[in-house]
Structure 1
Amino acid sequence: MKKLKIFVDCHVFDTSFQGTRTYIQGLYLELIKDDTKHFVFAANDIENLKSVFGNQINISYSKYYFKNPLLRLLVEIPFLIKKHKAHFAHFQYRVAPIKLCNYIVTTHDVLFQDYPGYFPKFNRIQSHLTYKFSAKWSDIVFTVSEYSKERIQKHLNVKNITVMPNGVDMSFFKEYNKTEIQAQIEKEFGFSNYLLCVSRWEPRKNQQLLLKLFINLNLHHNHFLVFIGDTTFKNKEFQSLYLQAPEEVKKKIVFLQKVAFDTFQNIIRGAELSIYPSIAEGFGIPPLESIAAGTTAITSNATAMSDFDFLIDYSFDPRNEAEFERVLRKAIDEKAMPFDAFKKRIKQQYNWSLSAAIYNDTIKRFIDS
């Protein structure tokens, strides 16, 4: 039997960290251990991909020359699938319309359907059409949570969906010296004793409420506030709050984009507190990564984050400012979390080897059928 060839669209690696990049990286670092399959990873910056997945006999890299997503999907990806004679191609959300092999798509969420006010009208329309087409055009459809599965079934009328949860990279669990990491971060970036929020910039991510509390509670007296993430949609409410903030507050707010993975991980390790106030998510991995790294985290309990029931004392309704403030104050004042129990739960429930097993079993069942 010929070695199974799987083409993986990795264009998200050409931007900053986001959930889909974490998903592909974690899943395929586990899958490439299987030398009965050959993997073709494609992106604009293949040197970056090589730094993540390395060089081994069952991996090939293909460079995208088009940065326009339409040209990439219509022209470049079908050409590369044919060139590499791929048996399967794995996409996130949207697939190439010209189908030259079996398709796998991961539809992480359809939040634009349930929370339309947080998405531009044109984005909602094209997302609905392309997500639905992609899911129905694909042979295997994955999603990352039971919450997302139920919403996808309802809104896209797609029934055969397999839940393959996100995992936390085992490197987050490694031992380290927090004091040394914090000194390193301060030397490199100039901030210390900081609160951290890792998330793309969109109004639903709720960075505006975090900023409001940072200002109202005078947290800048003792803390920096650090944001990591690229902009998807402009957050006008956040921008207005930030522009009106006193200069002494603005000096304690830091915005970072496109940081290397090792640096990203160290910033998480060095934080006093990780905060994830999102109103709607298909999964929500940053609080799990923070806890795995030994950093106290508080998180929204809305949508898919409600699955994190073991974090009930560290979660809040993201629309309830008073509740958010109470949990935030408690986390800052107490600085304590039962890390051993939480890490054990995360390792058991959210690990990439479990996800890889689901992936392989699903492909096997498809081939056998």
Structure 2
Amino acid sequence: MHFDSRWKGAFGIGRYAHETRSRFAQPVEDMSAPGDPVSATGIAAWEARTACSGLRRRDEFLLSPSFTPSVSWRGPQAVTVHDLIHLDIAEESSSAKRAYYEYIVKPTVRRNAVTFTVSHFSKERLVEWSGVDPERVVVTGNAVADAFSRKGPTHSAGHPYVLYVRNSKPHKNSPRLVEALARMQERDVHLYLSGEADEATVRAAVAFGVTDRVLFTGGIQDEELASYYRGALVAVLPSLYEGFGIPAIEAMACGTAVVASETTSLPEVVGDAGLLVDPLDPEAIAAALDKVVRDKSLHHRLVSAGLERSKKFSWDDITRRIETALAQAR
């Protein structure tokens, strides 16, 4: 089997690629190409690379941990479509992205014997969009790295805080979370946001008078991120859209209570181990955060339920699902 090894980094697809690639039982040959995998130059380099190898290896699978297939590969292949956010969120779409999905991704999904995705929500959306037989779409799920556990150092902030592990894209809904912070009755609670400061979130903090309670952490490596989870009163995911939502199970594995959106994939990931809220309603988000912070019995229940639920997500199981599906697709 050949593996698209271009996807690296501390983000959803990067984590998925690293954790599954390191666990395959069968021999795997990495294939890479220079450039951003979704840039025009990166796509061209990938096609050139796979065209050369594909001519010689028509009986071997090419597996991508992301949505980027190779048009030039002559043998069987499988892609992993984590979500359709590039189509479903207008602010994160473009004519070029829509064309790529319509003319490259959709025919690939329809042609391949198997396509992978990470949640039942994403599977339903993928089947609806592509018209592919649901039997040919396999839900693998996601899991967490070993660094995320209850054991280890705890970040000491000197004040209570709520943590949101996110980027600055519109679907992460950070400005509404800032408004929710301003509406909380617990006025000493701060909001920690991973990543760099972005204009929309800073503008919201100024507008709602909470600049002194909002902190941008910058990039955080896994070991340090686990300590931030352990130190948080609550981990919150008010996203408008997720294909899975790995921070929810990272937080649970670290023994942190979770408040998350009631939309897209998050209900199936969180289950009854967290509080679900309307991400469009800052008042509802604030009320849920206040409730978890104030109600010690509820907080304890969510922590206990989260620890148990996080055990249901295993990279070993995910990798076995992938290998089984590929074997059946041959």
Query: TM range, normalised to the smaller chain?
Result: 0.7 to 0.9
Post-superposition offset of 1:195: 1.4
- Structure 1: stretches of 5+ with no match in the other structure: 43-63
Tell whether the 8 Å contact from 1:73 to 1:97 is kept in structure 2 after alignment. Answer: no
Question: Are 1:110 and 1:148, in contact at CA under 8 Å, matched by a contact in 2?
Answer: yes
Distance in 2 (alpha carbons) for counterparts of 1:256 and 1:136:
42
- The aligned counterpart of 1:66 is 35
User: How is 1:35-46 mapped onto 2 (pairs within 5 angstroms)?
Assistant: 36-40=26-30, 42=32
Tell me whether 1:165 sits opposite 2:129 in the alignment: no
What are the residue-to-residue correspondences of 1:260-339 with 2, within 5 Å? 260-308=221-269, 310-311=271-272, 314-335=275-296, 336-338=299-301, 339=303
Contact map agreement 2:140 2:322 (CA 8 A) in 1: yes
Write the deviation string for residues 217-242 of structure 1: whole angstroms up to 9, x where unpaired. Answer: 375x52332112479xx774x35313
Aligned to 2:207: 244
Q: How much does 1:245 deviate?
A: 4.7
1:85-110 alpha-carbon deviations (Å, 9 max, x no partner)? 77333221122322144322001112
Cα RMSD between the aligned structures?
Answer: 3.0
For the residue of structure 2 that corresponds to 1:172, the secondary structure is coil
2:179 is aligned to 212
Report deviation, 1:82.
Answer: 4.2
Does 2:190 align with 1:224? Answer: yes
**Alpha carbons 2:78, 2:114 under 8 Å: kept:** yes
**Are the equivalent residues in 1 in contact too, given 2:89–2:171 (CA < 8 A)?**
no
Unaligned runs of 5+ in 2: none
TM-score, normalised with respect to structure 1: 0.75
Asked if structure 1 preserves the Cα contact closer than 8 Å seen for 2:242 and 2:264, the reply is yes
Q: Does 1:109 align with 2:83?
A: yes
1:228-279 per-position Cα deviation (integer Å, ceiling 9, x unaligned):
2479xx774x353134354xx3243222343322222222222221100012
More helix by share: 1
Is the CA contact 2:82–2:122 (under 8 Å) kept in the aligned structure 1? yes
Q: Distance in 1 between matches of 2:151 and 2:240?
A: 32
Q: Residue type of the partner of 2:151?
A: E
Q: Does 1:6 align with 2:12?
A: no
Partners in 1 of 2:170 and 2:100 — Cα distance? 17
Q: Residues 191-224 of structure 1: CA distance to partner in whole angstroms, max 9, x if unpaired?
A: 75321101222222211111012123375x5233
Q: Which amino acid aligns with 2:23?
A: E
SS at match of 2:72: coil
| Paired residue type of 2:309 | R
Count residues with an aligned counterpart. Answer: 319
Identical-pair percentage: 18
- Aligned mates of 2:168, 2:75 — CA distance in 1: 35
| One-letter code aligned to 2:307 | K
Moved more, 209-218 or 150-159: 209-218
Find out whether 1:90 has 2:90 as its counterpart. no
SS in 2 for 1:162: strand
2:324 corresponds in structure 1 to 361
2:106 to 121, 129, 132: 132
Cα distance change, pair 250–320 in 1 and its aligned pair in 2 (3 A): closer
- 1:63-100: CA deviation from partner (whole Å, max 9, x where unpaired): x4334722222224642674697733322112232214
Cα pair 1:93 1:134 within 8 Å, conserved: no
Partner of residue 58, structure 1: none
Pair 243,106 (structure 1): closer, same or farther in 2 beyond 3 Å: same
Normalization by structure 2: what TM-score?
0.83
Deviation string 1:10-49 (CA, Å, 9 cap, x unpaired) is 3342xxx322122223323332xx2x3124264xxxxxxx
